[in-house]
Structure 1
Amino acid sequence: MQLNPWALTAIIVVIVVTFYLGHRSSRSATSTHDFLVARRTVRSRRNAAAISGEYLSAASFLGIAGIVLKEGADALWFPIGFTAGYLALMLFVAAPLRRSGAYTLPDFLEARLGSKALRRFSTAFVIFIGILYMVPQLQAAGLTLATMLPIPAWAGAVLVMVVVALNVIAGGMRAITVVQAFQYWLKLFAVAVPTFILCAVFFSGGGPGGVRPLGASAPPVFPQETKVSVQTDVTLKVTAETYFFAYGRIDHAPADGPARWAPLVPHSVSEGTTLRFPAGTPVPVVAESTALNDDWLSPGSSGLSGLLETYSLMFALFLGTMGLPHVLVRFYTNPDGKAARRTTVHVLLLLGLFYLFPTMLGALSRMYVPQLLVTGKTDAAVLSLPTAILPGVGGQILAAVTAAGAFAAFLSSTSGLLVSVAGVVSTDVLPGRVWDFRLATGITAVIPMVLAATLRPDDISLSIGMTFALAASTFCPLLVLGIWWRKLSWPGAMAGMTVGGGLVLAALVINIVSGYTGGWAPWFTNQPALISVPAAFLTTYLVSRVTGYGRPEHVHDIMLRLHAPDPLGFMRDRAVARFGQAEEKTRTGKGGRHRK
């Protein structure tokens, strides 16, 4: 890989600015109240930018374009679902969750149902979801650095985690709030400007080779002789008899020269093999990708199983957002319930604006970097597209801008995840002091960093889709029923989490085993939410109805606190004495001034 000095400079600038903003904001962080919820004084617009910066992860910046390149119209549910999830969050959860006065998601569950056992049980799921979400962020960081710079992929994971951990240890939520807000606007700039420029080049002449068709029924073709180096074992398919040159191992046999592939049967390519395709050759695609452009442009072209998988994905994305701990923890930083709801409205606007651009880049990638369909590394589409359309310094500068935005995505998302997991570990496993938060941050940071370096990378959006399914199947039923149904009991809540989470984890294990043994698993192991979410809701309801215990004595008072308008003054923060905020809040008066 040739060194791109512009990309190296851009990444260094992002790291320096991130560290500077985090260090500057952390100087006023003195108590656990600061580290967990930024003293609950974050104004709505800044919090919305911070939430958007945190939420627009590797799945958004790299994964959306990659999955559009690979799957076409069916992939549009990802940006729609990522955004629409906040509508459900605004309608059902945001304001009551803030009025509960909780500091973490397990803290809310204990406040609502009065069960320490449920709190400990939910703590395990928060930690697992956080780590499961962090691993693809770090793997994407490695992909970005390996694509732009001549370094190994694990270096990106280590670099992101070190920078994030230093900021979080220094000031927790108070340190990362300004950082995440800045990184949203950086990411929007880094994806919008290249999109406008590349679209202008496309419409004015199409770059090298002229305008390339996307509406033809055939698969995309290589416009010029193209060499592809395969870095991991892949299984490819072709739609017509394909002639090319191979050097390495294909179809489990040595290859060193001309080769031919027949359609209708899969073809294996071993790691380290180099393939050379003459100009005009139809592009082979990885076995799970859409080959023909007609199918790529048509939604629901994969039959009944594809339709069910799409509905399952919709369930996971629409309902999973309200169950993500690192998203919910940001609403605890608002001053009151009204500010939390206003924050969510702003988030919807910011996300809707951002997601216009990766979708367009994915469509351009189908025409200009089809070789990514051969290697399966479609998540590199955003990074590879600028130099494919604009060879030379101009393309390198645009690639550097996208690399800076991608790196900001990894930093901001990993920051929020690390704060949410470290907050839960420090308050539920450790005594809950500032030193415990810093210790929890260090411990939590090591685990996903090691996993990212050792596990096999997968499609970023698809792997995060499983995380959404887990969140939708565990915490979503508890939040919706806990906020709106008085008769919820903690045995019902625990049973629902067990059933919903168990189904998703079983699907995850089966899917991993299937990936190594021939891909035999059915569709619902890839997207289990259509089964696991209704099962979790039904189990929670039925067990709560049949159990005669497990409901708090003062449930009416709790529900009044969750739903009463803010000016009535029923909202109270929890655990103030334990975390030592009483003196801090006295010293700071009302805790800071809130602006819209």
Structure 2
Amino acid sequence: MNALPNLAAVTAVAVATVAFGAYGLRSRSTSDFYVASRTVSPLRNAAAVSGEYLSAASYLGIAGLVLTYGTDMLWYGIGFTAGYLVLLALVAAPLRRSGAYTVSDFAEARLGSRGVRLVATGFVVLIGWLYQVPQLQTAGLALHTVTGAPPRAGAWLVTAVVLVNVVAGGMRSVTLVQAFQFWLKLAALAVPAVVLVLVWRGAWHPAAAAHPAGTPYAAAPAAGPPFGPGGGQQLYGLYSLLVATCFGAMGLPHVIARFYTNPDGGSARRATVGVLALLGLFYLLPEVYGGLGRRYAPDLVPEGRPDTVVLLLPQRLVPGGLGEFLTVLVVAGAFAAFLSTCSGLTLSVASVLSQDIFGGHVRGFRKAAALAVAVPCALAMPMAGAGIGVAHEVGLIFSVAASTFCPLLVLGIWWRRLTAAGAAAGMLVGGALALAAVTVTVVWRPGPGWGGALLAEPAAWSVPAAFVTMIGVSWATRASVPARTAVVLARLHVPELLAGGPADRSARAGDRSARGRDRLSHNARR
């Protein structure tokens, strides 16, 4: 593989990301850095949400799972997309009407408890860092595969570019970058996919699809069932995966943060509908690479590199200059995936760290951003470049998100009897159970049997446990329901179209107050 064009593609994506991010140099206020002053249009926000959501797991990992296990892995794309349907129905508009900057703000405003806020902040940081680690690991694997660079180089590159963008302009900067990167990722997968399908159908001579060593390709790799030996275990694994992906989307901090950037609740709903359409289109593509990989690249499975099938398949099927060009496209799209997702995660972690540790002003946000990106980079270094099964690892992180923030948001928005003690207990129980299962799965790799199945896919029992705990403890402490619950719920549910209503007045007052604090802070620094 010619490393120079691929290195040029990576460099071009990094430069374009920084160039688009320069738009964020206009950011001056706290509202600019946290929520882009709540002025992002539904179409742009839909592209930005899709851009940050389509991570290494979507761009590379799903194809690797299909290559390894076959059509059962199509459920990943379905679950990742269906999560936004749940988010649309239950939380999109109320979250925007809350007027919050972060999920920690929402938790404190809804329950009037600093303790609940700190628990939420802890899980935002934990989920954000856990999610960033596989992105950086896969960046090292991808750069090493296509250029031969040291595995750690990819992680360092992504970290540096993300830090520059987030520190320079916060949410205003990252929004434009992520919208651009979604369209780049879509084109980078779609154009080669069309060519590869034409090769498969015979538009090019079949000899073009020959192994470099001259041996023919096997028909399909040999792999065991993805969710256990079959029967009840396999069915349980499938259902648990769907619970994790469908309910985990609303618990991802970087996804939640994007809904605070819409002008109003109606715009948040329209942006979510746009996300559903864009994701539905995108998730048609990884399956093409995984399916063709089972015919033309099965050797990647025993080599432990199934996540590289998207990067390697174009030149295996299309030799010469055209194959190199198609490889350049998919490499560019892969690094757009790493950069956009890491940018969103860094932004969400920096937002809560800034407010709870560094004072909440712009200078504090920049300090928090440096910490938010440095820690996962350090954690990823020992494993950079390893073949890790990124889609499955991210699916486990979805289980943690579904077991913590999903119950908090659903019950916080729709159940007036939720208490601070119940919310904190539910998040701690659900998060602890899911994290324990994830740790055992990643570190010790449990074997076959029901014990291994329950640990490998914990969402089906950890999410109900979180809901039951949150409801049970709230019922036991029902005397401590916040006094302002009715007012807060009215703000969440009353449409802004009711001009002059409480939601409209409070949201506008909150934005004016934020701008006032920004001016005071700026004058004090001067």
What TM-score comes out, normalization by structure 2 length? Answer: 0.93
> Hey, what does 1:329 align to over in structure 2?
257
Post-superposition Cα deviations, 1:188-217, rounded to whole Å, max 9, x if no partner, equal: 000000000110111125654478xxxxxx
Deviation at 1:281, TM superposition (A): 7.1
Which residue is 2:13 aligned to?
Answer: 14
Rounded to whole Å, the distance in 2 between the matches of 1:63 and 1:281 is 21
The reply on whether 1:535 has 2:465 as its aligned counterpart is yes
In the alignment, residue 15 of structure 1 is paired with which amino acid? Answer: A
- After TM superposition, give the deviation of residue 509 of structure 1 in Å: 2.0
Take 2:172 and 2:513, find their aligned partners in 1: how far apart are those partners?
16
- Structure 1 residue 5: deviation in Å? 2.2
Matches within 5 A, 1:244-259: none
Deviation of the 1:361 alpha carbon: 1.1
Displacement after TM superposition at 1:84 (Å) = 0.5
Residues of 2 paired with 1:505 and 1:415: CA distance?
Answer: 24
Q: Does 1:477 align with 2:418?
A: no
Aligned equivalent of 1:564: 494
2:152 corresponds, among 151, 154, 157, to: 154
Tell me the distance in 2 between the aligned counterparts of 1:225 and 1:188. 29
8 Å contact kept, 2:10–2:335 = yes
State the AA in 2 paired with 1:367: R
Partner of 1:264: none
Cα separation, 2, equivalents of 1:445 and 1:399: 29
C-alpha distance in structure 1 between counterparts of 2:510 and 2:360, whole Å = 11
Please, which moves more after superposition, 27-36 or 79-88? Answer: 27-36
Work out the CA distance in 2 between the residues paired with 1:208 and 1:348. 37
Specify the SS of the correspondent of 2:413.
helix
Deviations 1:410-465 (A, max 9, x none): 01111000000000100012211101000001111111111111136521000000
Give the partner amino acid of 2:80. F
Alpha-carbon displacement from aligned partner over 1:161-210 (angstroms, at most 9, x marks no partner): 10011010001001111110000000000000000011011112565447
The residue type paired with residue 43 of structure 1 is S
The match for 2:344 is: 416
Counterparts of 1:194 and 1:78, CA distance in 2: 22
How many angstroms apart in 2 are the aligned matches of 1:397 and 1:454? 32
Task: Identify the residue that residue 524 of structure 2 maps to in structure 1.
Answer: none
Aligned to 2:33: 35
Residue 312 of structure 1: aligned partner: 240
Are the aligned partners of 2:419 and 2:477 in contact in 1 as well (CA < 8 Å)?
A: yes
Which amino acid in the other structure matches residue 338 of structure 2?
A: F
Say what the alpha-carbon RMSD is for the aligned residues. Answer: 2.4
Query: What letter is aligned with 1:556?
Result: A
Aligned residue number for residue 282 of structure 2: 354
Give the number of equivalent residue pairs.
Answer: 513
2:516: which partner in 1?
Answer: 582
Cα distance between partner residues in 2 of 1:324 and 1:279:
43
- Residue aligning to 1:217: none
The unaligned stretches of length 5 or more in structure 1 are 212-222, 228-277, 587-596
Q: CA deviation at 1:300?
A: 9.0
In structure 1, the partner of 2:230 is: 302
Q: Report the equivalent of 2:87.
A: 89
Deviation for aligned residue 1:550: 3.3
Per-residue deviation, residues 295-324 of structure 1 (Å, max 9, x unmatched): 79xx99733212111110000000000111
* Whole-Å separation in 1 of the counterparts to 2:42 and 2:137: 32
C-alpha distance in 1 between matches for 2:123 and 2:352? 11
The alpha carbon displacement at 1:282 in A equals 8.1
1:519, CA displacement in angstroms? 7.7
The match for 2:78 is 80
Q: Does residue 1:555 correspond to 2:512, yes or no?
A: no
Q: Which residue of 1 aligns with 2:333?
A: 405
Checking the alignment, whether the CA contact within 8 Å between 1:136 and 1:452 is kept in structure 2 is yes
Please point out which of 436, 442, 452 is paired with 2:364: 436
Given that 2:67 and 2:221 are in contact with CA atoms closer than 8 Å, whether structure 1 keeps it comes out as no
Paired with 1:479 and 1:518, the residues of 2 have a C-alpha distance of: 35
The sequence identity of aligned pairs, in percent, is: 50
1:356 partner SS: coil
The separation in 2 between residues aligned to 1:88 and 1:480, in whole angstroms, is 10
Deviation, 1:3, is: 3.5
From the CA coordinates, give the structure whose radius of gyration is larger: 1
Instruction: Please state which structure has a larger fraction of its residues in helix.
Output: 2
The one-letter code of the counterpart of 1:473 is S
Distance, in Å, in 2 between the alignment partners of 1:427 and 1:457 is 36
Q: Distance in 2 between matches of 1:64 and 1:458?
A: 12
Cα distance, 1:91–1:224 mapped onto 2, change above 3 Å: closer
> Would the aligned equivalents of 1:42 and 1:335 in 2 still touch at CA under 8 Å?
yes
C-alpha separation in 2, matches of 1:347 and 1:10: 27
Q: Identify the residue that residue 437 of structure 2 maps to in structure 1.
A: 507
State the partner residue of 1:240: none
The alignment status of 1:462 with 2:460, answered yes or no, reads no
- Report the CA distance shift for 1:279/1:22 in structure 2 as closer, same or farther (over 3 A): closer
Change (3 A) 1:494 1:204: same
Q: Distance in 2 between matches of 1:12 and 1:519?
A: 44
Preserved contact between residue 30 and residue 518 of structure 2 (Cα < 8 Å): no
Q: CA deviation at 1:583?
A: 6.5
Question: Is the Cα–Cα contact under 8 Å of residues 417 and 478 in structure 2 kept in the other structure?
Answer: no
State the one-letter code of the partner of 2:495.
P
Alignment partner of 1:522: what SS?
helix
Task: Describe the shift of the 1:408–1:479 C-alpha distance in structure 2 as closer, same or farther (beyond 3 A).
Answer: same
* Paired amino acid for 1:4: A
2:354/2:361 contact within 8 Å kept? yes
Is the contact between residue 102 and residue 574 of structure 1 (CA under 8 Å) also seen in structure 2?
no
Distance of 2:31 and 2:283 partners within structure 1: 34
Write the distance in 2 (CA, Å) between the matches of 1:555 and 1:83.
32
**Structure ranking higher in strand proportion:** 1
With over 3 angstroms needed to count, the CA separation of the structure-2 counterparts of 1:491 and 1:188, relative to structure 1, is same
Equivalent residue, structure 2, for 1:53: 51
Structure 2: where are the runs of 5+ without partners?
A: 521-526
> How does the TM-score come out when normalised to structure 1?
0.82
Change in Cα spacing, 1:112 to 1:398, as seen in structure 2 (3 Å) is: same
Q: Determine the structure 2 residue equivalent to 1:493.
A: 423
- Higher mean C-alpha deviation, range 453-462 or range 422-431: 453-462
Q: Choose 32-41 or 519-528, whichever is displaced more.
A: 519-528
Separation of aligned partners in 2, 1:492 and 1:538: 10
Structure 1: how far apart are the matches of 2:509 and 2:347?
19
1:284 Cα offset (Å) = 6.8
Question: Does structure 2 retain, via aligned residues, the 8 Å contact 1:207–1:390?
Answer: no
